[in-house]
Amino acid sequence: MKRTYQSLAACCMLLLSACYKDHGNYTYDLPEEITITGIGSDYDKVSLVDRITLDPKVSSTDPQAEFSCWWGIYETNVQGSAPKVDTIGRSKALDYLVKQPAKGWVLVFGAKNLHTGFSKIVTARVNVITQFTRGWYVMKHTGGQTDVDLFLTPSGIIGEGKMENVFSLVNGRKLDGAARLFGYYTNYKSDVTGAMANTKGLFILTDKDVSVVNMNTFKEIRGFNSLFYETPATKRPGSISEGSSANYLVNDGRLHSIYSMSANVGMFGGVQLRDDNNSPYNLADYFLTLNYYNPFFFDQSSSSFVSATGTGTVLSSVSDATGSEMSANRNNKTLLFMGIVASSPYTGVALFKDKTDAGLKILSVITPENYTLKIVNDTLDAAEKLYNAQRYGLIVTDESILYFSVGNEVWSRNLANGAERLQFTVPAGEQITFIRHRKYTGTTSTELPYYFNYMLIGTESGGQYKVRVFRKTSGNLNASPDFVLEGQGSVGDVIYIAPSMSNYTYPNSY
From 29-43, 264-278, 313-327, 409-423, the region with the lowest mean pLDDT: 29-43
Instruction: Please state, in angstroms and as integers, the Cα–Cα distance from residue 371 to each residue in 330, 337, 510, following that order.
Output: 16, 21, 22
What are the residues whose beta carbons fall under 8 Å from the beta carbon of 254, sequence distance 6 or more? Answer: 232, 271, 272, 281, 282, 283
What pLDDT, on the 0 to 100 scale, is given for residue 79? 56
Contact (Cβ atoms closer than 8 angstroms) between residue 424 and residue 410:
yes
Answer yes or no: are the C-beta atoms of 141 and 460 closer than 8 Å: no
Average pLDDT (338-355) is 94
Domain with residues 34-128, CATH architecture: Sandwich (2.60)
Whether 189 contacts 198, CB under 8 Å: yes
pTM confidence score: 0.79
Residue type, 453: N
Amino acid residing at 343: S
State mean pLDDT over 171-179. Answer: 97
How does the average pLDDT of the chain come out, rounded? 91
DSSP state of 232: -
Is residue 142 pLDDT above 70, yes or no? Answer: yes
Q: Is the pLDDT of residue 499 over 90?
A: no
Mean pLDDT in residue range 270-283: 96
- The stretch 253-274 carries a mean pLDDT of 94
Query: How would residue 78 be classed by pLDDT, with cut points 50, 70 and 90?
Result: low
pLDDT in tens, 396-439: 888 999 999 999 999 999 999 999 999 999 999 999 999 999 99
pLDDT digits 0-9 by tens, 406-415: 999 999 999 9
Cα separation, 396 vs 291, in Å, equals: 14
Determine the pLDDT at residue 29. Answer: 61
The top-scoring range by mean pLDDT among 40-44, 72-76, 390-394 is 390-394
* SS3 annotation, 77-127: CECCCCCCCEEEECCCCEEEECCCCCEEEEEEEEEEECCCCCEEEEEEEEE
Percent of the chain exceeding pLDDT 90 equals 75
Q: What is the pLDDT of residue 45?
A: 87
8 Å CB contact between 196 and 263: yes
Q: Rounded mean pLDDT of 42-47?
A: 86
Q: Is the pLDDT of residue 14 over 70?
A: no
- Per the DSSP assignment, residues forming a β-bridge with 334 are 353
Tell me the C-alpha to C-alpha distance, in Å, between residue 212 and each of 10, 187, 202: 82, 12, 5
Query: Who's near 117: CB < 8 A, 6+ residues apart?
Result: none
Contacts of 373 (CB under 8 A, 6+ apart): 296, 305, 318, 319, 320, 321, 324, 328, 366, 367
Answer whether 200's CB lies under 8 Å from 215's CB.
yes
Q: What is the mean pLDDT of residues 72-86?
A: 77
Strand-pair category, 42-46 with 119-129:
parallel
Note the pLDDT of residue 149.
97
Q: What is the pLDDT of residues 94-135, one digit of tens each?
A: 999 888 877 789 999 999 999 999 999 999 999 887 889 899
The arithmetic mean of pLDDT across residues 463-486, rounded, is: 96
- Consecutive H or E run containing 9: helix 2-19
Res. 82 pLDDT band, cuts 50 70 90: low
pLDDT at 77: 65
Q: What are the C-alpha distances in Å from 233 to residues 123, 178, 224, 251?
A: 49, 19, 11, 10
What pLDDT is recorded for position 319? 97
pLDDT higher than threshold 80 for residue 209: yes
C-beta separation of 136 from 494 below 8 A: yes
Neighbouring-strand partners of residue 473: 476
Highest mean predicted confidence (pLDDT) among 144-148, 213-217, 260-264: 144-148
Give the start-to-end residue ranges of the domains of the chain.
34-128
- Who contacts 427 (Cβ-Cβ below 8 Å, separation ≥6)? 408
Specify the 3-state DSSP secondary structure of 242.
strand
The per-residue pLDDT for 17 is: 41
- Determine the pLDDT at residue 508: 87
Q: What is the pLDDT of residues 299-346, one digit of tens each?
A: 999 999 999 998 889 999 999 999 999 999 999 999 999 999 998 889
